[in-house]
Amino acid sequence: MSAFSGRRFRILAWSISCIALLGILAWAYRRYVLMHPDPTIAWVRYGITYELLNPKMLGVILIAPWFVGVLSQSLADLPLPQKILSVFLRVAFVVLLGLGLSRLARTATTEKVCTVYLVDVSDSIADEAIADARALVDHAWAEKPKDGIVKLITFARRPRLAEPNEKEPEKAPTIERHADAKGERGELGAGTNLQAALQLAYGLYPSGYLKRAVLLSDGVQTDGDFLAEANRAKDFGIRLFTVPYRRPAPPEVAVRDLRLPDHVKVGETFEVHADIYASRATTAKAKLYQSEALNGLEGIKDLTLKAGSNDVVFKSVVRVKGATTYKLDLEQIAQDRFPENNRYATTVDVPGRPVVLYIEGTPQHGQPLSSALTAQQIDVDMRPPAGFPGSLKELQRYDFVVLSDTPKEAVSIEAQDLIEQYVRDLGGGFLFAGGESGYGLGGWYHTPMERMLPVRMDNERKKEMPSVAMSVVIDRSGSMTGLPLEMAKAAARATVGVLSSDDLVEVIAFDSTPTRYVKMQPARNRSRISAEIARIQPGGGTEIFPALDAAYQDMTVTQARKKHVILLTDGRAPSGGIRDLVSAMIAESITVTTVGLGGDLDEQLLKMIADVGGGRFHAVSDPTNLPRVFTKETEMIARAAAVEEWFPVTQVGDAAFLRGLDIRTAPNLHGYVSTKMKPTPAQELLTSDSQEPILARWRVGLGWALAWTSDVKSQWAVEWLRWAGWEKFWGQLVHEHMRQKHTRELDMKAEVVGGQLHVAVDAFGADERFENNLTSSLKIIGPEFKSDELDEAKDAKNVKQVALRQTAPGRYEATLALDKYGSFLLRAEHKHEDKDGLLRPVAVSYGHVSNPYPREYASFEPDLVTLEKAAIVTGGAVDPPTVAAVFDPQGEKVTFHEELWPRFIYAAIAVFLLDLLVRRVRLFDRKFIPRGGPRSRAPRAA
Amino acid sequence: MHFTGVPLQTLIQIGALAGAAIVVFYILKLRRRPVAVPFSKIWQKILRDKEATSLFSQLKRLLSLLLQLALLALLLLALGDPRTAANLIEGRNIVVLIDGSASMKATDVGPSRIESARERVRAMVRGLSGSDRMLIAQMDAAVTPLSTLTGEISELEAGVAAVKASDASADFARSLRFAADTLRGLPSPEIIVVSDGALSEAADAAGPVHLGEIKLSYVPVGMRAKNAAITGFSVRRYPLDKSRYEVMLEVTNTSDEAMDVELSLIGDGQLTDLSRLRLNPHEKLPRFYPNLSGASKTLEAKIALGDGTRDDLPADDRAYALLPERRRARVQVVTTGNMFLEAALLLDEYLDVTTVDPAKYPAKGAYDVTIFDGVTPSVAAGSGSLLYLNPTGTNVPFEVGALIDDEVGFDELDAKSPLLRYTALSDVNIARAHLLKGEKDDKIVARSFKGPLLIQGRRAGVKFVALGFDVRESDFPLRIAWPLFLLNTINEFVEEDVGYISSFRTGTVWSIPASSASESATLELPDGSKRSVPIKDGRAVFLGQEAGFYKISTGTPQPGAAEDVTMFAANLADPEESAIAPHPKLEVDGRAAGDVGELKIGVRREMWVYLLLAVLLVTMLEWLTFHRRVTV
């Protein structure tokens, strides 16, 4: 019974201790392995880091209690110490295997080096340079240390790992330019991506090796950012050496840029600059195409190029609005390697033809100017004064306004204000042209128009003077009784009516003595003057001299620029003293015109008076014609601000639009309206022989105001119409002074960097605040489009539309890849949501970019700075002197995991053998000294 | 089968020795213990039994010996690290592209998408068959191979463990091209993309990526898209009143449900604005804070969900911006007196103006800008950038042409030049002017039809601007354009520009303005770590992938002189990256990516592990049989 209880007790004790052992082990396993925060367990001992890479495998130790447990039921005929030793050895065996399975590793250091050679084989590299690279790589293969590894990548647009030849694995792989499977090179060499080459290298370094890279290149990259990548390579522990190619650039001619002015106008000549690079001095023929045809002004040029950059200038003019593509082709180049870069295209967006509003007082005579402007690619909208636009918005459609030969009365004050606003605020151009109703003649004195023009309409000294003093001297002799006198009175009234208000007028009626019915007074008192004229009654004889004398005396004391007497008579009168009197009058600039009524006249006398008096003689048979004759005569006189004579025009000022026009070859003009220049900054450009302005200009606010004091019609400018420079003169004048912008344009910056188009638009409001919340879209049109695609652009194949995203207050940006070569037009439209939630356009932006050909063909000079900086940033150097220098660890060591599991297996084998020894050889109790007391259960013999 | 561990020969040697030892142990008979048998009949029975069981016991011994030898063989085999003959069978070559973009930080699958991706790839690594080779690469703004193309499980696992999500978006095209380059010419190529699918189009400047024969597989990660993000944050000074600035903030709800969001703006650590917004599904809400002023240097915007929960992507809930302190520009004016010039310079309070008589030039100290008004002395060191007004002498870096006595104006203006920003100069009247002729690379900013009047250039790193007339002989100084021109020019010289944008975008190569005299600069990253970056053409070049505030310092500081330290900020600010809805399908080059089929968790390729496990099993059995006398 006691034995049974003893056995039970033993089983119980064994079980408990086994379970306890299992519990302790399980707890420790959970606590230290499963609950460990890291997937591996590491510790440092004597400066060496030990790490269990797969600590969960330590779980196999949990089977240790099994061995202890089995021991309790052991039938083996072994002494107890030996049994205990055996179980210990077996547990040690399991622990060793467990440690092996959990992959104990320690960090170890090594100085072995793996070097990747990166060889640039892009198209811009000369064959000699590649041969140099081949020699260098072969050398490296031969000289590398035995424990070193060397690999080779060749790269152009994309990198490739060059595998060693299977037959000769000890030799360096061959360096070839890249070709596809069919052996064709295509565009594989048309680019250099240093960054991708370096990235491919990262994946080639085996662990446990120091990382070195040797880059053989010209450093000119077309994609990626090598310097930034070199900085990253440093993080991977790569030390980069660079070997710049030192061979001279191959003979090469490349068009690097084709520059056009920012703003090109239809019909205006401008310069196209081509930047042509030549690696050495050579010759070539350049053809400039405008759209599809050769450039009209200068299409072909034979070039003598010097080494380096050459600036070649072409003159051109665009005749049609819209997008115009200029393409420069170089041909017959003496020495050239790549044809790709001999062509460059750039596109300019030429705004539509300028529109001129031409207000002509006598539209039937407006043809000459209208045709001249049309011939100069300018659209002309000719209207009579009554058709003047009623609002600034309507006026805004025009680039230039001409107001020609229109009397003040025909243009409302509102219209004049509109013109001023148009010029001052909208930057419009305005030309005021003379004629019989221009300037003073049209009553423009003291009007907003005069304020705006660079000329004064009368000179300062005579400021307070009326322009005309008119003395109407009427015969009231008996013979005039009846209709003649009534008609004479009507004629006098008509005269007063024609005169402007400030003009002076007097009416003297005479028989044998003169009577001043209307004393010298301003013509504005028309009703009173009319009443006074009505009082004239027929009288007696006819005495001309006293009447003329009276008029002379009145005129002498009157101040007027133009003094004129009209003498009407129907009979004969003594002529004594009249000649002297008229001579005295003309000496004082008093002119006399005579009108003879009826057939019984002293025609000779009247003619003499008119001739001497600088006037005209009119013989009138029908008295009803008198008012017409008087009116005409008055008009002639009132117009006397006009200088009607042939005179040459002299250029006195310089202006851009006069370039290419020789004014000296211009014919004479036949009249102008006399004006005076205003002081500086008014600029006189053309002058008459009497130094009075013919053409003057100045700036008014944002725009220009010009004064042309002659006319633009076949009256005064009749000879000019036949001048060869007539059309050009007006065309260039309008082009230079016309309004610059139709709509608000926001500044657009566009550039192509690494094949990516980056567009940024800055939007500032009128108050210089940022303009936010615009809905902006950008159209990228191109390459190689026709201008008619612009308007129907939505469906066209080569039009892309992207949204510009607001990235900062007032800034809108977009970035997209340009996957085609050519020239691209950029148009952005900016809309703003109004109160009703509708999007209304507020501004536009224009730009253009060229992506002419792969950048590989643009530059043939090595970028030594980048190569040097990249080497320095990684701790490498430029031009390592020897292969040993590359493979020199330079004190650097790489730590790697040395896996220790095989050692545990060795140990396990040893323990296993030991365990076997312990079990097969009786080590203890060899003499079989019986232990005290009989054994309860005799072991069976083996 | 081949051995990558201990060579076969060594194994045979060890095996022979140990095997011999084992056999010897078994030849040695265990010395028996004498047992006193009290009764001879029992003894006889024992003898009889012994005869009967002798053969059986021989067999048991032999079995035991064989077991021991098998154990030894297994151990030795493990030591040899046997592999299947990969050289003989062409396996697959696989590049695994693990998306490391910001959206992979989303926590919709626990603990995060990137961790889930790592787990998936780890399973694939374990599922590699003997002849397969794999390369692990992380794709973010760049592509980073984290292992070689190898069959080594441990190296691949280490690569997987090194994957880390950044704050940038992934450059998918670049990564695909890298993978295609790596797999070029290799048999059975395959690309496995492990991503949430928020990838850009697989096309770059060279066009769409063509994968050709390469098999493309896709492992989608992620399950939902509850996210509110700050997709834009920037500060800009007003062009005219530079003491004030405007902040733009854009908050986007990228999920399908409306959200209440609490938006806070923090200036220099102090809360300056707190607002609550209601964002409809997929609504983008820009907010502007105009007319701010004050000395805040750093600005931070934060959003939190109104209900107190967190959205799935915390990475885009913060954004940073920096308003650089306005530096006082030191301006030296060399003039005999010019009221217009001096008055215009008074307008900007941030200018330290020193006026010097030409005879006393140069004044003490270093200057950022020197203005020569009608004089052209030889330029002394420390004069900084140069503005020539009405230069007449020969001591200038350009040619001064003949005097034009005519009225001229600016007939052609480079409207895009920063010098002419906000000015209208086309109506300026100039009485007399000298035409200026610069060198080829100089820029003509404004010209009359007779020739250039305003040019800009650089000689030996010194910038200059020259204006070819005395402003007093024109109506230029009577216009607002005059002070603007002067201040624009000084801004251009000292590069304190309205074009300044308050933060960089992560995932792009940054060109950070830095002193051009230095070779490299030290960059302190948002996490506090420091690294040096190269400087080229006055710009430090760095591919930034983390959002936050950075500090850059240039040059080795002279003793006593302060190091030139500037700060800047970087943000993700990418609405596409914040749209974290996972995409179940991936299409490249018109081809839909397939599923990953054959990489299942399978047999571990390292056989020694299994061999050792077998040893353990055999040991346990052997122990039991030995002690139960089944084997002896």
The per-residue pLDDT for A792 is 45
Measured between beta carbons, the chain B residues lying within 8 angstroms of A264 are none
Measured between beta carbons, the chain B residues lying within 8 angstroms of A205 are 148
Mutate which: B157, B445, B623, vs A, most A CBs within 10 A: B623
CB contact under 8 A, A702 and B184: no
Q: How far is B594 from chain A (nearest CA, A)?
A: 25
Arithmetic mean of pLDDT, A879-893 = 87
| pLDDT band per the 50, 70, 90 thresholds, residue B467 | very high
The answer to whether B206 contacts chain A (CB < 8 Å) is: yes
CB contact under 8 A, B236 and A770: yes
Q: How far is B434 from chain A (nearest CA, A)?
A: 16
The answer to whether A769 contacts chain B (CB < 8 Å) is: yes
DSSP-based three-state secondary structure for A100 = helix
Q: Does residue B573 contact residue B551 with C-beta atoms inside 8 Å?
A: no
Q: Is the pLDDT of residue A154 over 90?
A: yes
Mutate which: A920, A927, A935, A940, vs B, most B CBs within 10 A: A920
Q: Is the pLDDT of residue A377 over 50?
A: yes
CB contact under 8 A, A202 and B33: no
Q: Which of B181, B207, B534 sits opposite A227 (nearest CB)?
A: B534
Arithmetic mean of pLDDT, B54-75 = 84
ipTM over 0.95: no
CATH class of the region B87-223+582-604: alpha beta
The answer to whether B212 contacts chain A (CB < 8 Å) is: no
How many residues are there in chain B? 632
Measured between beta carbons, the chain A residues lying within 8 angstroms of B501 are 807-808, 811
Arithmetic mean of pLDDT, A606-619 = 86
Q: How far is A336 from chain B (nearest CA, A)?
A: 25
DSSP H or E stretch at residue A826: strand A822-833
| pLDDT band per the 50, 70, 90 thresholds, residue A935 | very low
Cα dihedral across residues A313, A314, A316, A321: positive or negative: negative
Arithmetic mean of pLDDT, A208-232 = 89
Q: Which of B26, B30, B181 sits opposite A200 (nearest CB)?
A: B181
Type of residue found at A389: P
The per-residue pLDDT for A466 is 62
**pLDDT for A646-667, tens place per residue?**
889 998 888 888 877 888 888 8
Strands (E), B325-422: 329-334, 351-356, 369-373, 385-389, 399-404, 412-413
| pLDDT band per the 50, 70, 90 thresholds, residue A894 | confident
Arithmetic mean of pLDDT, B18-44 = 75
Cα gap B628→B469, rounded to integer Å: 115
Strands (E), B449-529: 451-459, 462-467, 503-505, 509-513, 520-524
Cα gap A502→A519, rounded to integer Å: 15
| pLDDT band per the 50, 70, 90 thresholds, residue A243 | very high
The per-residue pLDDT for B97 is 94
Cα gap B89→B130, rounded to integer Å: 9
Architecture of the CATH domain B329-493: 3-Layer(aba) Sandwich (3.40)
CATH class of the region B504-575: mainly beta
Lookup result for tokens 């592209």:
B97
Lookup result for tokens 């973009």:
B101
Q: How far is A146 from chain B (nearest CA, A)?
A: 20
Q: Does residue B625 contact residue B617 with C-beta atoms inside 8 Å?
A: no
Mutate which: B68, B183, B407, vs A, most A CBs within 10 A: B407
Q: How far is A183 from chain B (nearest CA, A)?
A: 14
CB contact under 8 A, A74 and B72: no
Cα gap B258→A561, rounded to integer Å: 85
The per-residue pLDDT for A851 is 85
Cα gap A421→A444, rounded to integer Å: 18
CB contact under 8 A, B238 and A39: no
Contacting B residues, span 498-517, partner chain A, CB-CB under 8 Å? 499, 501-502, 509
Model-wide pTM > 0.95: no
**pLDDT for A780-789, tens place per residue?**
887 765 544 4
Contacting A residues, span 157-176, partner chain B, CB-CB under 8 Å? 157-161, 163
Cα gap A458→B485, rounded to integer Å: 40
Arithmetic mean of pLDDT, A682-688 = 90
Measured between beta carbons, the chain B residues lying within 8 angstroms of A705 are none
Answer with the residue of higher pLDDT: B192 or A859: B192
The per-residue pLDDT for B52 is 60
- B504-575 matches B229-326 in CATH topology: yes
CATH class of the region B229-326: mainly beta
Quick count: other Cβ atoms within 10 Å of Cβ B38? 6
Measured between beta carbons, the chain A residues lying within 8 angstroms of B502 are 808
The answer to whether A77 contacts chain B (CB < 8 Å) is: yes
Strands (E), A725-810: 747-753, 756-762, 775-781, 799-808
Type of residue found at A413: I
| pLDDT band per the 50, 70, 90 thresholds, residue A639 | low
The per-residue pLDDT for B555 is 63
Cα gap A909→A89, rounded to integer Å: 11
CB contact under 8 A, B205 and A747: no
Tokens linked to A727? 């059309």
The answer to whether A903 contacts chain B (CB < 8 Å) is: no
| pLDDT band per the 50, 70, 90 thresholds, residue A694 | very high
Average pLDDT, chain B: 83
CB contact under 8 A, B415 and A902: no
**pLDDT for A59-75, tens place per residue?**
989 998 888 888 888 88
Cα dihedral across residues A660, A664, A667, A672: positive or negative: positive
CB contact under 8 A, A901 and B184: no
Candidate from A595-599, B29-33, B149-153, B170-174 with smallest mean pLDDT = B29-33
The answer to whether B54 contacts chain A (CB < 8 Å) is: no
Measured between beta carbons, the chain A residues lying within 8 angstroms of B616 are 60, 63, 94, 97
Average pLDDT, chain A: 84
Q: How far is A9 from chain B (nearest CA, A)?
A: 20
**Hey, what's the torsion of the CAs at B479, B480, B485, B487, to 10 degrees?**
140
Domain ranges of chain B: 2-81, 87-223+582-604, 229-326, 329-493, 504-575
Q: Does residue A253 contact residue A276 with C-beta atoms inside 8 Å?
A: yes
Q: How far is B137 from chain A (nearest CA, A)?
A: 9
CB contact under 8 A, A75 and B181: no
**pLDDT for A35-62, tens place per residue?**
888 778 888 888 788 888 888 888 989 9
Tokens linked to A568? 């009407």
Measured between beta carbons, the chain B residues lying within 8 angstroms of A97 are 612, 615-616
How many residues are there in chain A? 942
Q: Is the pLDDT of residue B323 over 90?
A: no
Strands (E), B238-322: 244-253, 259-267, 270-279, 284-293, 298-305, 318-322
Query: Before A648, cis peptide (omega within 30)?
Result: no
The answer to whether B495 contacts chain A (CB < 8 Å) is: no
Q: Does residue B451 contact residue B437 with C-beta atoms inside 8 Å?
A: yes
The per-residue pLDDT for A743 is 62
DSSP sequence for A647-707: B--EE-S--GGGTT--GGGS--B--EE--EEPSTT-EEEEE-TTS-EEEEEEEETTEEEEE
Measured between beta carbons, the chain B residues lying within 8 angstroms of A654 are 406, 449-450
Candidate from A554-568, A778-792, B486-500 with smallest mean pLDDT = A778-792
Q: Which of B21, B536, B629 sits opposite A227 (nearest CB)?
A: B536
Enter the DSSP assignment of A883. H
Q: Which of A659, A755, A806 sits opposite B286 (nearest CB)?
A: A806
Tokens linked to B323? 């308003």
Cα gap B426→A738, rounded to integer Å: 12
Contacting A residues, span 481-540, partner chain B, CB-CB under 8 Å? none
Candidate from A431-435, A495-499, A806-810, B115-119 with smallest mean pLDDT = A495-499
The answer to whether B28 contacts chain A (CB < 8 Å) is: yes
Cα gap B303→B309, rounded to integer Å: 12
Strands (E), A405-539: 429-433, 455-456, 468-475, 504-510, 514-522
Q: How far is B559 from chain A (nearest CA, A)?
A: 25
**pLDDT for B368-417, tens place per residue?**
899 999 888 888 877 888 999 999 878 888 989 888 887 788 888 887 78
